[in-house]
Amino acid sequence: MSNVNILKTNNKNLPLFLTLGIAFFLLAIVDFCLNNFLNINITSFLPRYINFFTPLIFGVIGLHLIRIEFTGIKILDNLNKNINTSNFNAILSLSIILLIIFALPPLLNWFIFDANISGDTKEACTGGGACWVYIKVWFNRFMYGMYPNSEQWRINVTFIAVLAFTAAGFFVPAKFRNYLSLYYTILLPIISFILIYYLVSGGSFGLEWVETGAWGGLSLTFMVSFFSLIFCFPLGMMLALGRRSDLPIVKYSSLSFIEFWRGVPLITVLFMSAVMFPMFLPDGTYIDKLIRVVVAITLFEAAYTAEVIRGGLQAISRGQYDAAKSLGMGYWKLHIFVILPQALKLVIPGIANTFLALVKDTPLIFVVGLLEVVGMLNLAKTNPEWLGFSMEGYVFAGIIFWIICFSMSKYSQKLELKYDTDR
């Protein structure tokens, strides 16, 4: 016991090092908590510039002392291997732990403990935290826009129906599997369009007509994304094939189409659809704003999809083409049965990214005056009765989008695994 070198840890004096190390580590945490939450500084006798870093210094000493290899204690070995491999790593780990301790309580307070959710007026918000009453009161607006309250069941019914038709594709008997892509690219859009036209838009069957300007909120986000998604995929595929075609005119017109849409920001495309496009139509014809927007987004995203698919096509080896040709397959047969199934499988992550980008781009339609969920937030924010709750609104919308996008990306990862048929 007499010649213990405090700086050189070893296995022999394990209990001593462990107690000292844990003590120092706890001291660091306690010091930090006291500094931040109770405004008590137990190390105030030290100079200011050292004083500020005392939790870090204590913590690193503590972590250094418990950095002992092959102790046989499972937790300790795991800890050392994962967050405490060197002094530098110890500093980084400790900074993150302290940051979490620093940030978590105020966040939790704001989100839950000091937040208000009961009541229907602004006055109900008395706590210092978030005012979820605001979200509660405006919830219908955020979901359905300016759509009349009494008619909102129509949107719900349409969505459930479209969802059912989409899901139906998963349950068809194996006999019809081959026609599934046709169903999704041609039949489903037509069915959905008819549903939306007669149910959401109304005007016949005794349903009140609701103009597209009144549509909005999250339901509009879904509608725009849904149609753009369905249309941009086949279009992108044609463009990708066109770009790799042997026919010079087809090739260069596809190429310039793709490069054009990829070169401009979506916001200018939407500007174009809003102010420039009506000039290009015969006098008196009018195309609904929503349709113009969907077409604009479709063309824009199709160019990106085309580039992604082209990447997949390029990755297919020449042998596949040669083999298919030697079986006597023509251009279309070759692509539909041999090349595309392999190429599309390769580009699932890329396609998923493009679709995610599309969903994240939909809020931009505010430039043409369509208010989906982010647009509705900005409108609600300016309401004189509910001033000063923009934070809650953005956090709410952020959570919604995050859930949508995150689950989409997780689903694409699952698909990728499912179709990973590599040797």
Taking CB under 8 A as the criterion, which residues in 2-61 touch another protein? none
Q: Given the complex with another protein, which of 232 and 269 has the nearer CB atom?
A: 269
Among the listed residues 89, 109, 166, 212, the single contact to another protein using CB under 8 A: 89
Site string for another protein, 191-230 (x = CB under 8 A): ----------------------------------------
SS (H, E, C) 71-83: CCCHHHHHHHHHH
Q: Given the complex with another protein, which of 196 and 377 has the nearer CB atom?
A: 377
Q: What is the DSSP string of 290-359?
A: HHHHHHHHHHHHHHHHHHHHHHHHHHS-HHHHHHHHHTT--HHHIIIIIIHHHHHHHTHHHHHHHHHHHH
Site string for another protein, 357-376 (x = CB under 8 A): --xxxxxx-xx------x--
- What is the rounded CA–CA span in Å between residue 156 and residue 131? 27
Query: Considering only CA atoms, which of 410, 405, 385, 381 is closest in space to residue 393?
Result: 381
Provide, rounded to whole angstroms, the least separation between the CB of residue 19 and another protein.
24
C-beta separation of 116 from 127 below 8 A: yes
Provide, rounded to whole angstroms, the least separation between the CB of residue 364 and another protein.
6
Q: What is the DSSP string of 6-71?
A: TTS--STTHHHHHHHHHHHHHHHHHHHHIIIII---TTTTS-HHHHTTHHHHHHHHHHHHT--SS-
Q: How many residues does the chain have?
A: 423
Provide, rounded to whole angstroms, the least separation between the CB of residue 160 and another protein.
26
- What is the rounded CA–CA span in Å between residue 67 and residue 63? 6
C-beta separation of 117 from 133 below 8 A: yes
Among the listed residues 44, 103, 391, 414, the single contact to another protein using CB under 8 A: 391
> Of the ranges 4-12, 128-136, 178-186, 403-411, which one interacts with another protein (CB under 8 A)?
403-411
Provide, rounded to whole angstroms, the least separation between the CB of residue 21 and another protein.
18
Say whether residue 309 binds another protein (CB under 8 A).
Answer: no
Say whether residue 250 binds another protein (CB under 8 A).
Answer: yes
Q: Given the complex with another protein, which of 199 and 346 has the nearer CB atom?
A: 346
Q: How far is CA 5 from the centre of its chain?
A: 53
Instruction: Residue 347: count other Cβ atoms within 10 Å of its Cβ.
Output: 22
Say whether residue 268 binds another protein (CB under 8 A).
Answer: yes
Provide, rounded to whole angstroms, the least separation between the CB of residue 219 and another protein.
17
C-beta separation of 352 from 304 below 8 A: no
**Helix (H) / strand (E) containing 105:** helix 87-108
Say whether residue 413 binds another protein (CB under 8 A).
Answer: no
Tokens 């719900």 identify what position? 156
Among the listed residues 93, 219, 305, 412, the single contact to another protein using CB under 8 A: 93
Q: Given the complex with another protein, which of 197 and 331 has the nearer CB atom?
A: 331
Say whether residue 92 binds another protein (CB under 8 A).
Answer: yes
Provide, rounded to whole angstroms, the least separation between the CB of residue 180 and another protein.
27
Total number of residues binding another protein (CB under 8 A)?
A: 56
Instruction: Residue 296: count other Cβ atoms within 10 Å of its Cβ.
Output: 23
Provide, rounded to whole angstroms, the least separation between the CB of residue 221 and another protein.
10
Taking CB under 8 A as the criterion, which residues in 318-337 touch another protein? none
C-beta separation of 95 from 56 below 8 A: yes
Token pair listed for 257: 């189409």
Among the listed residues 378, 379, 415, 416, the single contact to another protein using CB under 8 A: 378
Among the listed residues 316, 356, 379, 415, the single contact to another protein using CB under 8 A: 356
**Helix (H) / strand (E) containing 372:** strand 371-372
Binding-site ranges for another protein (CB under 8 A): 82-83, 85, 89, 92-93, 96-97, 246-250, 253, 259-260, 262-268, 271-272, 275-276, 279-283, 356, 359-364, 366-367, 374, 377-378, 381, 390-391, 394-395, 397-398, 401-402, 405-406, 409
